[in-house]
Amino acid sequence: MSKIKEVKTIGILTSGGDAPGMNAAIRAVVRTAIHKNLRVKGIMRGYAGLLQEEIIDMESTSVSDIIHRGGTILYTARSSEFVTKEGQELGAKICKEHGIDGMVVIGGDGSFKGAEKLSEFGVNTIGIPGTIDLDIACTDYTIGFDTAVNTAMEAIDKVRDTSTSHERCSIIEVMGRNAGYIALWCGFANGAEDILLPERYDGDEQKLINRIINNRKRGKKHHIIINAEGIGHSSSMSKRIEAATGIETRATILGYMQRGGAPTCKDRVYASIMGAKAVELLTAGKSNRLVSYRHGQFCDFDIKEALAMKKDISEEQYRISKMLVR
């Protein structure tokens, strides 16, 4: 039986797009590690900062008063150099030179590919899913989604008010990259007349136009279309719809506001549990694992296995959404 590798110093970084709740996870990693008599080093600006050796010592006070803040106190950046084998080897070498024998990576699927490589080069590494897109297949929850979808929902409510006042059609584009989860949830929560999801959209714009015309004939004063970022082209779509229907149509792209703001209670609590669990996995000698929340339980998956999984919109949720839009 191989001996469990003892971890004495944990590094932590955030990578890729920021997400509300990342600070809660950072706080939990730091304080759980200190509770277990481990040292903690924060790596600024993700893998790019690792290669530049932007590494700081972290204490319990380093994470005071951050749980309620959006974004990430460690900052984030993308690194083309770390995608290369040479960059990955250098990153692992720098970790070892700074005494980092365990690493926690908070980010999305691209970040986890980097985590997997660090693990291969001898740095025990655990991933935590931090992305507003909810597009990591092995987990039912990702840090930031709950806050982002609530932010979008509140913004769409406001657009609906002015859309009704002007008797308009409004196309509201939400984030999510190629995943339609924010669009689907907002479609439910905002009572949208149409929801366009990259996983399901057939590109039939005429069908949209016919629905808008029919709804206006039966007395609807507005028409809200939630459009996912993965489909995009909201501005040009609005021009075509207005030309075809004669109804004033406006596009609103919510954009990066969905990434910001104070995290919800759920994002604070779940991110904290995931951060603590990541440290526990490292102290148990685990590596190349991804902390997840699945079927109501916090668990973990092999990163390679997790990245190979495919995720799709729930057929039940999609079916019900189609019944509710009118």
Residue pLDDT, tens place only, 286-314? 999 999 999 999 999 999 999 999 999 98
- Looking at residues 49-68, what average pLDDT do you find? 98
The residue whose two tokens read 């110093």 is: 9
Annotation marks residue 302 as catalytic: no
Question: Is residue 4 over pLDDT 80?
Answer: no
Query: Side by side, which strands form the sheet with 169-174?
Result: 194-196, 223-228, 169-174, 249-253
Within 10 Å of residue 161's Cβ, how many Cβ atoms? 10
Question: Is residue 3 over pLDDT 60?
Answer: no
Question: Is residue 55 over pLDDT 60?
Answer: yes
Q: What is the pLDDT of residue 1?
A: 38
Q: What are phi and psi of 215, to 5 degrees?
A: -65, -40
Q: What is the pLDDT of residue 196?
A: 97
Asked if residues 39 and 32 have their Cβ atoms less than 8 Å apart, the reply is: no
d(CA 318, CA 323): 9
- Catalytic residue of the set 18, 101, 109, 133: 133
207 versus 6: the higher-pLDDT residue is 207
Q: What are phi and psi of 127, to 5 degrees?
A: -100, 150
Model confidence, pTM: 0.95
User: Mean of the per-residue pLDDT values for the chain?
Assistant: 95
Q: What is the pLDDT of residue 6?
A: 85
Q: What is the pLDDT of residue 325?
A: 78
Question: Is residue 179 over pLDDT 80?
Answer: yes
DSSP, collapsed to helix, strand or coil, labels residue 312 as coil
Q: What is the pLDDT of residues 159-177, one digit of tens each?
A: 999 999 999 999 999 999 8
d(CA 201, CA 155): 23
pLDDT band at 2 (very low <50, low <70, confident <90, very high): very low
Asked if residues 144 and 19 have their Cβ atoms less than 8 Å apart, the reply is: yes
